[in-house]
Amino acid sequence: MSDKKNVNEQSKDEQLEQYRSDDTGKQMTTNQGLKVSEDEFSLKAGDRGPTLMEDFQFREKMTHFDHERIPERIVHARGYAAHGEFEVYESMKEFTKAGFLQDPSKKTPVFVRFSTVAGSKGSAETVRDARGFATKFYTEEGNYDLVGNNIPVFFIQDAMKFPDLVHALKPEPHNEIPQAASAHDTFWDFVANNQESAHMVMWAMSDRAIPRSFRMMEGFGVHTFRFVNEQGKAHFVKFHWKPVLGTHSLVWDEAQKINGKDPDFHRRDLFDSIENGDYPEYELGVQLLSEEDEHKFDFDILDPTKVWPEEDIPVKIVGKMTLNRNVDNVFAETEQVAFHPGHVVPGIDFSNDPLLQGRLFSYTDTQLIRLGGPNFHELPINRPVCPFHNNQRDGYGRQTINKGPVSYHKNSIAQNTPAPVPEEQGGYVHYQEKVEGRKVRTRSESFKDHFSQARLFWNSMSKPEQEHIKEAFTFELGKVERKAIQEQVVQMFANVSMELAKEVADAIGATMPAGEDSKVTKSSPALSQENTAKKPATRKVGVIIADGFNGPEVKTVLEALKAEGIQPEAISDKLGKRKGTDGTEIEIDHTFLTADSVLFDALYAVGGEDLSKKFVKNTAYFINEAFTHFKPIGATHDGLKWLEVNGIQDSAGVVHSEDMSQFASEFVQAVAAHRHWEREIV
């Protein structure tokens, strides 16, 4: 008897190992194992004759190629993923019986896929959009999928409207324009005529919609779920992922330029960070609410267009997720992974959120067409680490070879197995919520306030964040061709902020809204990125350098940056090495042609002796652009003249000093701040 573990008893890493294949050094064969003697030419009748139908090798190779692609996801098509692990800080037994939330000494493998929503698989990554944040926990009780976004609310309240939203958001069907963008007529027409979208639109027009990286954005479960403990007591729960590096964003001009300079910016950042050992970390937080308190707020806790303000219902941090391994094959893992909010474990259940209820149907339905049938759970990336046994059989893509004649319940041939499992032995039992009511197609009155939380969000923003929202509305509506839609949107958002609506109206030539401003004065500081963690670690600094730099002092600065986890990358007019005054050599990572200031978090201008006019011109461009994007800029020695020429040496976030230790310390602080909004643009 073989001592090889059953696939369902292996760890996730062991399980995937048997599916990995390295063809290096191997002999070529067909998919049937037949050794191939020639792979350059098809079988012909004479060297200039027709190809023969009997060429099975050609047919196999070409047929497989013709079928390599599967339908891309309708939404969230552009995605990237990584493996990792999750560990809980303390037992959550008081609230849930979910096994992976009990033992702090245990690590649960996870797979996380980040994505844009609107764009196709080939679109750019730094577009203005919500971002998917989907996590698959491979627990001993089965797979649990937390399928959320980087924005805690959504455009609509009922899943019935989801096809309408996506149809409006996608490129317009008559010309397939614009790609991965919401700045067009059909989207804003939908917004103006479906005003439940007001809160989500405020988030989408904010900096949250253009994150600096996947590593620096929050994640949310969006919906209200339930925790259920061993005693059957339930709490409503909302899930949060809090990035350890803080929540940071790009600026709009920068985001647009990155789309041209590096459309793979976010996936490259995630891949490189993991390869460098700078593992992304996120803490899991939960907001918990007893069932007795369900109706104590001025919003409906089941409404997916509403947040639970953290000041009213605090976020309890319960664990940490670390992403520590890149995928081996993007198609086999990232593209074939199948998430579903209905993949739950004992101790986690659903609420009556009507958007969530619709997703519980839609996700399985989607996987059936994308992955070719009902056996997508057997693909390596989707397999649970615990055993699975049932009477499901056959179908496209079946990998399990079921033995025995029985595939039905109840039976006597196999002693009525596989058998259901009682709740006390781990069987999943739905929370026994009492439900009564007439069959109706309607919306609860408690869902009909569409503007209070949109105003709450506006009130919570810092002044720079509010300015960015105004600019985003102005840009988006400026791309709308139909004047009537512009007018409708301006009038709609006067319900959120008269200041916002009037400034946008003035900028796009729309009619000024009339009336009084919203009476909502409440704010939630937790919603502003001004209050996030600010750390220098993993930030990329472009170091502009040429021959003749001050070797010892530059070396001191670079070592100080690296000690803080900052990643300096050298930029010059050509590749190779640049030599300092003392013989110190620095390897150049990029030229001015292969890099751009938008690809770095900060710049450090060093310079050198005998600089060409072209070098000086390129450096000036880099520094001016970084300055207009509010980025930290440091300069020493020859680099100081660039600050002086542009008159920015005394601006916020611009650091220079003759004392290298002081310079390094101040520059690290400037980099940690991320942006310097108080800077005057000159």
- Chain-centroid distance of CA 426 in Å reads 33
What was the pLDDT predicted at 197? 98
User: What would the pLDDT profile of 562-572 be if each residue is shown by its tens digit?
Assistant: 999 999 999 99
pLDDT at 489: 98
Q: Residue 682: what pLDDT? A: 43
Residue 646 among the catalytic residues: no
- Angstrom CA distances, 78 to 73, 116, 119, 188, 334, stand at 8, 6, 7, 23, 10
Domains in the chain and their CATH numbers? 79-184+209-378 (2.40.180.10), 534-672 (3.40.50.880)
Q: Could you tell me whether strands 281-290 and 316-326 are parallel, antiparallel, or unpaired per DSSP bridges?
A: antiparallel
Residue 9's pLDDT is: 64
Q: Is position 259 annotated as part of the catalytic site? A: no
pLDDT at 629: 97
What is the rounded radius of gyration, in angstroms, for the C-alpha atoms of the chain? 28
| Predicted pLDDT of residue 435 | 87
Point out the catalytic residue in the list 76, 240, 450, 629.
76
Q: What is the mean pLDDT of each run of 10 residues along the chain (682 residues)?
A: 54 87 88 91 91 91 89 96 98 98 98 98 97 98 97 97 96 96 98 98 98 98 98 98 98 98 98 98 98 96 98 98 98 97 96 95 91 94 93 92 93 93 92 88 94 98 97 98 98 97 98 91 96 97 95 94 97 96 94 97 92 92 96 92 88 92 95 92 48
Angle at 178 between CA 172 and CA 180, to 5 degrees: 110
pLDDT of residue 2: 42
pLDDT of residue 681: 52
Q: Which residues contact 206 (CB under 8 A, 6 or more apart)?
A: 457, 461, 465, 468, 469, 472
Contact 391, 407 (CB under 8 A): yes
- What is the reported pTM? 0.94
Looking at residue 375, its pLDDT comes to 94
Query: Which among 385, 241, 386, 382 is positioned nearest to 322, based on CA atoms?
Result: 241
Catalytic hit among 6, 64, 83, 149: 149
